[in-house]
Amino acid sequence: MLEIMTELPARLGSRPRTTTQTPHRQVSQVASPGLWGRTVSAIFSLPHVVEGHSAVAPAGSRAVFLDDMPVALARETSLAPLDQRLEPVHLHGVFDTSLHLCLPAARARKICALGWGEPHHYSDHENDIMVYGPRDREELSVILTIVQESIAFARGAASTSRTS
């Protein structure tokens, strides 16, 4: 399993172009089909992660669900509404290759400041962000770390709400 980095490097180069309307998509600097396939495979190989249909993303997107956490208990940890299946992350298709995910607001701002993503443009919450698709294997490693952080955030918030 990939170790979660606490200090991410800055993403090199310019940011990709993204849409300003719904759906929020990445339109330049997308991952090659092979690299995107490795990204999808790596994410859905993480422990307790299962693939499903997103409650909020357009058709063709893939939701990350946790097989041991069936319901969203805290709004800030799920892209899907409360009382629906917990969806901390979803991946867009091969023509987009970005991801949307949830993180603590301060961490989301830091990841965006480092160039790895941008705020989800129609979100009411600071913790929903778009993470850009990887351009190479090194970027894939960083993106997998960010996805693991989102999953850990969902797990931590769920365990906090159960003990409160």
Q: Mind listing the pLDDT tens digit for each residue in 73-118?
A: 788 899 988 878 999 999 999 999 999 999 999 999 999 999 999 9
Q: Write the burial class of residue 109 (CB in 10 Å: 0-12 exposed, 13-18 middle, 19+ buried).
A: middle
Q: What does CATH list as the number for 33-163?
A: 3.90.1150.30
Q: How do the domains of the chain map onto residue ranges?
A: 33-163
Q: Mind listing the pLDDT tens digit for each residue in 17-46?
A: 999 888 899 999 999 999 999 999 999 999
User: 117 in helix, strand or coil?
Assistant: strand
Distances (CA, A) of 99 to 64, 159, 161, 162: 10, 25, 26, 28
